[in-house]
A = this chain, B = another copy of it.
Amino acid sequence: MKKAVILLSGGLDSATCLALAKKEGFSTYALSFHYGQRHNSEIDAARAIAKSLGAVEHIISEIDLSAFGGSALTDEIDVPKDRDASILSDKIPVTYVPARNTIFLSFALAYAEVLDANDIFIGVNALDYSGYPDCRSEYIASFQTMANLATKSGVEGDGNLIIHTPLINMNKAEIIQLGIKMGVDYGLTRSCYDPFENGNPCGHCDACQLRLKGFEEAGLNDPLNYAY
């Protein structure tokens, strides 16, 4: 079985990505990050998802992005609430973490090289998050080109690293419908930027709004409890 590294955030998209990689016949190696987020519910979710979807290994890498500041997810900027979901993608949001996907993909590249794997899956989405520069297909293509020059296997000629972005052109409702078909338990996933102390999602940040809109459009109920 071919090995693949899957970036697993604990959210809905990356869980669907992991299920897809498994369905495509890969033996799956999940990679999550503890990066100075203000809450740990994402990591707990990633652990539960990796287990539930049969990942061979799950590495949680400690990195300190908060040292650089610059984002509501790692810094003390307020997470915006109750914004109109239809205009969320108009500009780069304050929740954007500088170079986050570049850092995450770089670690995935290291992990892939050690595993001798040629496949990396990342659940980026250009529709719901078009405001994030590092969610666009031209960025991913460029990272792939760079990655094939960066590594032993690329230099020695037997490398053909592929960055898979199966969700990049799907909307949230389509992602949810696909995941449900593959048996993903979305009750294990966490999307909220600003959860309550008990880990329950706030229901009002951009991520909660997009998620709730996705379930609504899919004609399904979100299994999460949005009450404190």
Interface residues of A (CB under 8 A from B): 59, 61-65, 67-70, 92, 96-103, 105-107, 109-111, 113-114, 133-134, 136, 138-139, 142-143, 145-147, 149-152, 154-156
Contact = CB atoms under 8 A, between A and B. Distances in A.
How many copies the complex holds: the figure is: 2
Contacts of A65: 110
Contact of A150 (B59, B70, B109, B133): B133
A146 B143 contact: yes
A139 B145 contact: no
Residue of A68, A96, A102, A149 with most partner-chain B CB within 10 A: A102
Dominant SS among interface residues on chain A: helix
A81 to B, nearest CB: 22
A67 B61 CA distance: 7
Nearest to A34: B64
Contact of A155 (B62, B106, B109, B133): B133
Contacts of A143: 146, 150
A114 B70 contact: yes
Nearest to A144: B146
A134 B109 CA distance: 12
Contact of A63 (B63, B142, B154, B156): B63
Contacts of A133: 149-152, 154-155
Contact of A145 (B69, B92, B142, B156): B142
Contacts of A114: 68-70, 98
A99 B92 contact: no
Closest 6 CB pairs of A and B: A99-B110, A98-B113, A70-B114, A133-B155, A142-B146, A98-B110
Nearest to A111: B68
27 contacts: A59-B67, A59-B68, A61-B63, A61-B67, A63-B64, A69-B114, A70-B110, A98-B110, A98-B113, A98-B152, A99-B107, A99-B113, A100-B110, A102-B106, A102-B109, A102-B110, A102-B147, A103-B107, A105-B106, A106-B106, A133-B150, A134-B150, A136-B149, A138-B149, A142-B150, A143-B150, A145-B145
